[in-house]
């Protein structure tokens, strides 16, 4: 018993230090831009505490209980939620889209800056909305969620923290079902990426993750239609989870994918009745140059293609990225890896090859699967992607040249090395 308590001391001490760092918040170096403070002060300290705690848990299974891990994780999120969103303003758009719908307008048809919505503007939410002249980019399931949530920034962030609590409990459940230490949920629960992107920034990914985990749990029980419904619900919030159907649907492809496609189609139809083709919102413009952020593989391909396709190298590189993504996901879906390993690698290969923006919160959907099947390559990506926030602290918001190679080159190198050592 004494030994067990001693084994619990290091991660608990690390958690206490993390809480102090989060509590001090952005009062640390107040004259430094928030993104720079996070990337150079908060994040490196929290990263060390997180990785050290996760390594300790792996080496001393059972030393900390799941309720303790989860309670500390919720406390971390609540503490950072005491500060206004510092790294992203997306949550203001979520709140606004719900407000607009309750007033009888479609966020697909009316941008926040449109004169028709002038009576809805307030002093707390509207001034902070990014792209005020653009229609919403979020799919119909997300809009339905925004409609149900109140016109309150803190209430919406509180809802996402509750979603994240459910995510942690589902990860722990899945770990138990697989015969592994459920305390490994710490790798997600105490991740500074999850703490800040959910607690402070209030990102929609928090609502996507419990749906994906529910789909995996249903798939393990061979409840095919239920799996499809959970998958469709997740894709209705953010489109990219539909990619995981390649792992979840076999061998009952039709029975699994039909509910997902029908659910997604019905939601698009309902919102499309009011907005028509505008139901796609800002999405077609999201592939434009103006939205580029933290571009990895495509940037490397564009540089390589410069002598050969100087005029259309962006389009060529974009197409090559999509081809590589298709080849990668097809290869992974046909591998002999476990279900969770396939999902982990499908999410990872998508993030590695995606030719559009890669914001830090986009990587959140990879983290839960690392609790179950850790992999150094994807862990490196998760650990380094928040450094891309330094772009917004630089002159002219230009990404420092070293950041993208620092994120993606080790990720790709480790991935190749792992695959060579453990072929599938």
Query: How long is the chain?
Result: 424
H helix or E strand, kind and range, residue 162: helix 153-177
Alpha-carbon distance of 331 to 350, in angstroms, equals 13
- Of all residues in the chain, the percent with pLDDT exceeding 90 is 80
- pLDDT (average), residues 174-178: 97
The predicted-structure confidence for 347-361, as pLDDT tens digits, reads as follows 999 999 999 999 999
More confident residue, 321 or 422: 321
Give pLDDT, residue 419: 84
| Cβ atoms of residues 403 and 409 within 8 Å | no
Q: Which whole-number Å values give the CA distances from 280 to 40, 204, 250, 309, in the listed order?
A: 37, 18, 29, 31
Give pLDDT, residue 422: 66
Which residues neighbour 193 within 8 Å (Cβ) at sequence distance 6 or greater?
360, 361, 363, 364, 367, 382, 385, 386
Q: Locate the domains of the chain by residue range.
A: 288-424
Give pLDDT, residue 1: 46
DSSP letter (8 states) at residue 136: P
Confidence of residue 290 (pLDDT cuts 50, 70, 90): confident
Give pLDDT, residue 281: 83
Residue reference for tokens 């770990």: 175
Alpha-carbon distance of 325 to 231, in angstroms, equals 20
- pLDDT (average), residues 66-82: 96
| Cβ atoms of residues 295 and 288 within 8 Å | no
More confident residue, 281 or 335: 335
Give pLDDT, residue 309: 65
Average pLDDT, the chain: 93
The predicted-structure confidence for 179-222, as pLDDT tens digits, reads as follows 999 999 999 999 999 999 999 999 999 999 999 999 999 999 99
pLDDT tops 50 at residue 332: yes
Name the pTM for this structure.
Answer: 0.95
Alpha-carbon distance of 340 to 372, in angstroms, equals 7
DSSP letter (8 states) at residue 123: S
Burial class of residue 148 (count of CB atoms within 10 Å of its CB; 0-12, 13-18, 19+)? exposed
Closest CA to 160 of 107, 201, 212, 129: 201
């Amino acid at each position: 018993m004494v030994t067990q308590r001693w084994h619990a001391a290091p991660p608990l001490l690390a958690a206490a230090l993390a809480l102090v760092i989060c509590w001090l918040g952005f009062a640390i170096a107040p004259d430094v831009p928030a993104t720079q403070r996070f990337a150079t002060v908060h994040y490196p300290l929290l990263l060390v505490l997180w990785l050290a705690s996760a390594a300790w848990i792996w080496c001393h299974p059972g030393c900390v209980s799941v309720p303790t891990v989860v309670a500390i994780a919720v406390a971390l999120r609540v503490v950072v939620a005491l500060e206004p969103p510092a790294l992203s303003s997306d949550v203001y758009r979520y709140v606004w889209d719900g407000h607009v719908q309750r007033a009888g307008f479609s966020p697909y048809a009316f941008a926040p800056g449109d004169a028709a919505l002038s009576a809805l503007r307030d002093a707390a939410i509207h001034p902070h909305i990014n792209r005020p002249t653009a229609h919403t980019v979020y799919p119909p399931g997300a809009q339905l969620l925004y409609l149900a949530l109140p016109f309150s920034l803190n209430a919406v962030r509180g809802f996402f923290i509750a979603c994240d609590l459910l995510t942690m409990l589902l990860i722990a459940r899945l770990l138990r079902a697989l015969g592994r230490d459920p305390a490994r949920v710490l790798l997600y629960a105490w991740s500074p990426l999850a703490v800040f992107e959910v607690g402070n920034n209030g990102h929609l990914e928090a609502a996507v993750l419990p749906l994906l985990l529910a789909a995996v749990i249903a798939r393990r029980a061979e409840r095919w239609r239920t799996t499809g419904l959970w998958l469709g619900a997740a894709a209705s919030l953010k489109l990219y989870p539909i990619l995981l159907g390649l792992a979840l649907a076999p061998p009952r492809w039709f029975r699994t994918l039909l509910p997902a496609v029908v659910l997604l189609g019905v939601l698009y139809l309902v919102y499309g009745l009011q907005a028509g083709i505008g139901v796609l919102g800002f999405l077609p413009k999201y592939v434009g140059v103006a939205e580029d952020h933290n571009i990895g593989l495509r940037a490397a391909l564009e540089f390589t293609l410069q002598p050969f396709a100087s005029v259309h190298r962006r389009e060529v590189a974009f197409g090559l990225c999509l081809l590589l993504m298709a080849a990668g996901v097809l290869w992974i879906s046909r591998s002999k890896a476990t279900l969770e390993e396939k999902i982990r690698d499908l999410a990872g290969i998508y993030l590695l090859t995606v030719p559009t923006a890669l914001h830090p919160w986009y990587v959140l959907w990879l983290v839960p699967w690392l609790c179950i099947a850790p992999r150094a390559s994807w862990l490196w990506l998760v650990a380094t992607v928040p450094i891309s926030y330094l772009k917004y602290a630089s002159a002219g918001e230009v990404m420092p040249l070293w950041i993208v190679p620092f994120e993606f080159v080790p990720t790709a190198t480790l991935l190749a090395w792992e695959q060579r050592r453990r072929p599938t």
